[in-house]
Amino acid sequence: MKVDFLDPGHTYRAIKTDIDAAYQQVMESGFYILGDAVESLEDTYANYCNVKHCVGVASGLDALVLSLRALDVGPGDEVIVPSHTFIATWLAVSQVGANLVPVEPRANSFNIDPEQIEAAITPKTRAIIPVHLYGQPADLDPILKISEKHDIPVIEDAAQAHGASYKGRKIGGHGTIATWSFYPAKNLGAFGDGGAITTNDAELAEKIRILRNYGSRKKYFNEVKGFNSRLDPLQAAMLEVKLRHLDQWNNLRKEQATVYLEELQDSNVILPAIPEWADAVWHLFVIRQPERDKLQSYLAQHNIGTGIHYPVPSHRQQAYADSLPANGNYPFADQFAKDVLSLPIGPHLSTDQCRYVAKAIRDFSAR
Ligand SMILES: *Cc1c(COP(=O)(O)O)cnc(C)c1O
């Protein structure tokens, strides 16, 4: 048996006729920037997330940058981010010139620790960015409480959490803004780059709508110094088709995660913990194993692809060598870089393939 870690072409092949039709419709429409296809995806995705507004942008990183801009976060301001995340969360803060204040995860979790957020707040804190890492919602209620108490907006980085729920309510409208990526490998992925923001705040949505399009509401009239960061209508049209299948694909991920959780119980790996309030969508299924590199090679020998998310923590990246955040050490982020391993998961796999992966890991444990 062979188990690919990823197969980005799988979902295209599965629904090729509908994707091709959506693509063709945009091609024939003659509208290649914004327009009906983008507006339609925005409406559909806002509905899906149960929020009032969605604005399509060029990428998940841009969604974060534009959100920070719309909240007037800039030089001299502090933004709380997880120490353990994909680098984009950090880069967005750096791009607007604000200072990073990384906060470690809660023990037994990959997500930011609300208690340590409270301790990291200063008079300069202007935003808190929890990340729903690996498709697992962060513990939002205590974060929102802190946000209210200190009047600091929350930007949820939901790039890995399309369709996830926190306490029975879809991710997308709990905080001030949620940001999304449609990078091909995400749970809802385009055939190229794409991103979006969702919010219940009409004013913020409008600000981002203007910012993404040269700071302009009306062509050639520029209200603010904006960007060119628009969701491509071809991508929007194809995303709208894929969105109809998202729940089904997420359900497959959940079934596969259940197989891993059950069949790896007696192995020597640390399994992801699932809080009872989380309905996770398993963008990644991440285990921990002190002999991670050995396990990864062992699985590769058995034709099983795996990933490491992420091999270098943000604070050890060369990009931050000369501008390290001032608030100390990040032992969890360092530890995870050494021992996390992402198992294959996604709509391209069968549960039998996951059983094969689990068996190989049990064999590795017993060797
Ligand atoms: C993918 C991702 C992003 C960035 O999205 P892009 O569309 O690749 O720019 C941001 N944050 C997290 C947590 C991500 O996983």
Which of the four pLDDT bands, split at 50, 70 and 90, describes residue 323?
confident
What's the average model confidence in pLDDT over 292-311?
A: 98
Backbone angles phi and psi of 293, in degrees to 5: -65, -40
Question: How confident is the model at residue 324, as a pLDDT?
Answer: 78
* Residue 88 CA to ligand 1 centre (angstroms): 6
Residue-wise pLDDT for 190-233, tens only, equals: 999 999 999 999 999 999 999 999 999 999 999 999 999 999 99
What's the average model confidence in pLDDT over 12-18?
A: 98
Any atom of ligand 1 within 6 Å of the Cβ of 57: no
The Cβ-side half-sphere exposure at 129, using a 13 Å CA radius, reads 36
Any atom of ligand 1 within 6 Å of the Cβ of 85: yes
Q: Which of 172, 175, 176 has the alpha carbon at shortest distance from 198? A: 172
Question: How confident is the model at residue 201, as a pLDDT?
Answer: 98
Which of the four pLDDT bands, split at 50, 70 and 90, describes residue 244?
very high
What's the average model confidence in pLDDT over 322-327?
A: 75
Question: How confident is the model at residue 328, as a pLDDT?
Answer: 73
Ligand 1 pocket: which of 67, 89, 187, 283 to mutate (most atoms within 8 A of CB):
89
Question: How confident is the model at residue 352, as a pLDDT?
Answer: 98
Describe the crossing of helices 16-29 and 233-243 by its angle, rounded to 10 degrees. Answer: 150
The token duo for 167 is 């306490």
Q: Which of 262, 260, 59 has the alpha carbon at shortest distance from 179? A: 59
* Residue 279 CA to ligand 1 centre (angstroms): 20
Write down the mean pLDDT value for the chain.
97
* Residue 182 CA to ligand 1 centre (angstroms): 8
**Res. 341: pLDDT tops 80:** yes
Any atom of ligand 1 within 6 Å of the Cβ of 187: no
Question: How confident is the model at residue 39, as a pLDDT?
Answer: 98
What's the average model confidence in pLDDT over 24-48?
A: 97
The Cα 49–Cα 201 span in angstroms is: 14
Any atom of ligand 1 within 6 Å of the Cβ of 195: yes
Ligand 1 pocket: which of 62, 112, 157 to mutate (most atoms within 8 A of CB):
157
Residue-wise pLDDT for 112-154, tens only, equals: 999 999 999 999 999 999 999 999 999 999 999 999 999 999 9
Question: How confident is the model at residue 326, as a pLDDT?
Answer: 65
Q: How far is CA 214 from the centre of its chain?
A: 26
Please confirm, yes or no, whether 52 is among the known catalytic residues.
Answer: no
* Residue 267 CA to ligand 1 centre (angstroms): 32
Any atom of ligand 1 within 6 Å of the Cβ of 157: yes
**Res. 325: pLDDT tops 80:** no
Any atom of ligand 1 within 6 Å of the Cβ of 113: no
Question: How confident is the model at residue 96, as a pLDDT?
Answer: 98
Question: How confident is the model at residue 52, as a pLDDT?
Answer: 98
The Cα 307–Cα 5 span in angstroms is: 7
Q: Fill in the DSSP letter of residue 127.
A: E
Domain boundaries, the chain: 9-243, 246-366
Question: How confident is the model at residue 340, as a pLDDT?
Answer: 98
Positive or negative CA dihedral for 343, 346, 348, 354?
A: positive
DSSP assignments along 26-53, one per residue: HHHHT--SSSHHHHHHHHHHHHHHT-SE
**Res. 297: pLDDT tops 90:** yes
Catalytic residue among 149, 167, 186, 225: 186
Question: How confident is the model at residue 287, as a pLDDT?
Answer: 98
Question: How confident is the model at residue 327, as a pLDDT?
Answer: 62
Residue-wise pLDDT for 79-95, tens only, equals: 999 999 999 999 999 99
H or E element at residue 206: helix 202-211
Give 325 or 115, the one with higher predicted confidence.
Answer: 115
CATH of domain 9-243: 3.40.640.10
Q: Which of 182, 204, 179, 221 has the alpha carbon at shortest distance from 65? A: 179
Burial class (CB in 10 A: 0-12, 13-18, 19+), 318: exposed
Same fold, 9-243 and 246-366: no
Question: How confident is the model at residue 322, as a pLDDT?
Answer: 86
Pick 246-366's CATH classification: 3.90.1150.10, 1.10.1740.10, 3.40.50.720, 3.40.309.10. 3.90.1150.10
DSSP assignments along 274-321, one per residue: --TTEE---S-EEEE-TTHHHHHHHHHHTTB--B-S-SS-GGGSGGGT
Q: What percent of the chain has pLDDT over 70?
A: 99
Write the residue with the smallest CA distance to atom 3 of ligand 1. 60
